C-alpha cells in the first residue's frame, strides 16, 4: 500500500477537497463563464486562421506547382520552401501569442477560481 503522505492523500484514504457542489457552483459562476469566453475568443479565431493558412499552402502545393517551384532571386530557395517554413514560424508565433494571452488573461482568473475551490474545500 502506498504511503499516504507520498500520494497527497490523508491517512485512511479519505479525499479532502472541494465537493461536486462547489465545482458546479464555480462552473455556473460569471467568472468561469468569462474565463471560458476569453479562451474561446482567442482559440477559435486562431484555429480558423491557421487551418485556412495551412489549406492555402496545401492547395498551392497541389495546383500552383509553377509558383511554388519558382526560385527567389535566382537562389536555390523557392516560394514553396519559404511558405513551408512559414508554417513552422506561424506555429511558434501562435504558441507565443497563446502563452502571452494565457499568462495575462486566463491564468489569473483560473488561479482565483482554484483558490476559491481550495478555500471552500477546507471549510
**Ranges of each domain in the chain:** 19-117
> Do the Cβ atoms of 112 and 102 come closer than 8 Å?
no
What is the model's pLDDT at position 121?
63
> Do the Cβ atoms of 15 and 9 come closer than 8 Å?
yes
What is the model's pLDDT at position 22?
82
CB half-sphere exposure, 79, CA atoms < 13 A: 11
CA distance 123 to 116: 11
108 C-beta neighbours (distance < 10 Å), count: 12
The residue length of the chain stands at: 123
What is the model's pLDDT at position 66?
97
User: How far is residue 98 from each of residues 32, 75, 104, measured CA to CA in Å?
Assistant: 19, 35, 10
What is the model's pLDDT at position 118?
85
What is the model's pLDDT at position 94?
98
Beta strands in 1-123 (DSSP E): none
Per-residue pLDDT of the chain (123 residues; tens, 9 = 90+): 555 556 555 566 565 677 888 888 888 999 999 999 999 999 999 999 999 999 999 999 999 999 999 999 989 999 999 999 999 999 999 999 999 999 999 999 999 999 988 887 655
Q: What is the pTM of this model?
A: 0.76
Amino acid at each position: 500500500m502506498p504511503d499516504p503522505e507520498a500520494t497527497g492523500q490523508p491517512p485512511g484514504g479519505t479525499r479532502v477537497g472541494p465537493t461536486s457542489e462547489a465545482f458546479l457552483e464555480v462552473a455556473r459562476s460569471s467568472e468561469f463563464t468569462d474565463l471560458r469566453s476569453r479562451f474561446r475568443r482567442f482559440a477559435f479565431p486562431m484555429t480558423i486562421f491557421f487551418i485556412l493558412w495551412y489549406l492555402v499552402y496545401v492547395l498551392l502545393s497541389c495546383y500552383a506547382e509553377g509558383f511554388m517551384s519558382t526560385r527567389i532571386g535566382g537562389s536555390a530557395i523557392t516560394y514553396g520552401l519559404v511558405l513551408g517554413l512559414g508554417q513552422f514560424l506561424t506555429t511558434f508565433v501562435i504558441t507565443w501569442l497563446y502563452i502571452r494571452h494565457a499568462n495575462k488573461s486566463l491564468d489569473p482568473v483560473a488561479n482565483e477560481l482554484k483558490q476559491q475551490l481550495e478555500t471552500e474545500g477546507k471549510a
